[in-house]
A and B are shown apart, each in its own frame.
Chain A
């Protein structure tokens, strides 16, 4: 499902990389401009519209009481879905999610889950019977590259604005969702031994390897995924991890910590 890119454009990007430049003038570790608009959907319990350069991702949170999983009777449930709707890219098609969409949703989910960002114990209503279910729905609106980072940013931003709709279900007063960590996903591509953060669509299609690192507020790593058909040296992975954690800290402090 990668974009088709002409050889001449590939050559152009390649030659720029040799000169230490990127097509849009960014440095290799520079993100495009980020903007987060919160509470854009009034019907949702929480929502955020993230713009990462020209990429746009909308994340909505819905909550409802339901049954817990038998192996975690005292914990709330998180369900993450991603829709790569055809309006977002000529490469997206209608129909059930393909493996790219599934991987995206599972990575967003992994960030939220593994960082233990949401205090799920606090979302138990009746142990073993009733807990809160959080639906994180990611809607990709415009794919101009690196939608994964935008989607994870959207998910945590939306969770931070989420109000548990207790009143609507006769479970007392509404209250803010207890969020205690801010996981940030940072993605880099490797091209000719150069590591580039926040790849645009053209950059994504020239590189065949991507590494996403999800880090939490205390600087530890809570998720990672290599995707694409290339290889990475351990040293390259270590370098990406270092840069990614640094970048994640910047993004977290600038956009999400009050």
Chain B
């Protein structure tokens, strides 16, 4: 890695960011639902340079059994980075960062999952980061939420996640690698379309006013991502749209 001083980089050129985005613009996003054959639900997402794939298995039997809860399903979330996903090879396997991200990501999704429908079972969410470019946890949560829906897990709503950051004293949406590495703050959130926040993290330094601005910007970004998630699901299941015939409903039973 190249050692660089924060002041060495100029983050804006002619009012635009290094990749040509406006301050409040997301990176291009691509989503595909149902990309894995074995999983009960899956989703592949590209958010800028991030390539992340999420799979959902379950509800299924809990192993080890002592973890089971007689009143509800437990949710497990495993965030994992491929060793080749970053500039310098990452040692395979979980590290402290991925433990923390797995915990907060699980807690970002659990509020909307109707776990009480499936006592004594587990809903496993596996997230693999194939290519990382800042914002992998938000990409992972977005993909995981869609994969949960694809798996047919009953949910109160979708969860959409997006970060805001601060670079060169400016609040920006969805920071990319350079902005994240040499920026002044990073604030990932996740929320329901109603604006209930389920993930809230921050590091760096923000005044209270900047904090408000960053939260509002990230929430707007998440709202836009929600529309894309919705579209990705509708695209896959569009043949099921509209009133099904009664015979069809019976055939499903």
Interface residues of A (CB under 8 A from B): 70-73, 99-100, 102-103, 105-106, 110, 113-115, 211, 216, 219-234, 237-238, 241-242, 245
Q: B107–A226 contact, CB under 8 A?
A: yes
Evaluate contact between A220 and B206: CB separation under 8 angstroms: yes
User: Is the Cβ of A227 less than 8 Å from the Cβ of B104?
Assistant: yes
Q: Is the CB of A110 within 8 A of B203?
A: yes
Is B117 at the interface (CB under 8 A from chain A)? Answer: no
- Whole-angstrom distance from the CB of A216 to the nearest CB of chain B? 7
Interface string of B174-217 (1 = CB under 8 A from A): 00000000000001000110011111111111111001100110
Q: Does any Cβ of A come within 8 Å of B102's Cβ?
A: yes
> Which B residues, 1 to 57, have Cβ-Cβ distances below 8 Å to chain A?
1-3
Q: What's the least CB distance linking A112 to chain B, in Å?
A: 11
Residues of B within 8 A of A216 (CB): 205
Residue of B nearest to A210 (CB): B107
Q: How many residues of B contact A (CB 8 A)?
A: 35
The answer to whether B111 has its CB under 8 Å from any CB of chain A is yes
Q: Is the CB of A226 within 8 A of B208?
A: no
**B91-117 interface mask toward A, CB cutoff 8 Å, 1 = contact, 0 = none?**
000001101101110010011000000
Say whether A232 contacts B196, CB under 8 Å.
Answer: yes
Chain A interface helix/strand/loop/mixed? mixed
Of the candidates B2, B202, B208, which one forms a contact with A223 in the assembled complex, judged by CB atoms under 8 Å apart? B202
Set of chain B residues within 8 Å of A228, measured between Cβ atoms: 107
For this complex, 7 residue pairs linking A to B, each with C-beta atoms less than 8 Å apart, are A70-B1, A102-B99, A114-B203, A221-B211, A226-B201, A230-B111, A234-B197
Docked-complex contact B205 and A220, CB < 8 angstroms: yes
Interface residue ranges of B56-82 to A (CB < 8 Å)? none
Q: List, in ascending order, chain B residues with CB within 8 A of A70's CB.
A: 1, 3
Which residue from B104, B197, B207 sits with its C-beta under 8 Å from A237?
B197
Known pairs A102-B100, A105-B96, A106-B97. 13 more at Cβ < 8 A? A99-B100, A99-B102, A99-B103, A102-B96, A103-B103, A103-B104, A106-B96, A224-B203, A225-B200, A226-B104, A227-B103, A227-B107, A229-B110
Asked whether, in the complex, the Cβ of A232 is within 8 Å of the Cβ of B203, the reply is no
Assuming the contacts A220-B205, A234-B215, asked whether A226 and B100 have C-beta atoms less than 8 A apart, the reply is no
Complex Cα spacing A241 to B202, Å: 12
Q: Bits for B131-173, please: 1 = Cβ < 8 Å to A, else 0.
A: 0000000000000000000000000000000000000000000
Nearest B residue to A128 via CB reads: B3
Q: Which of B2, B3, B195, B211 contacts A241 (CB 8 A)?
A: B211
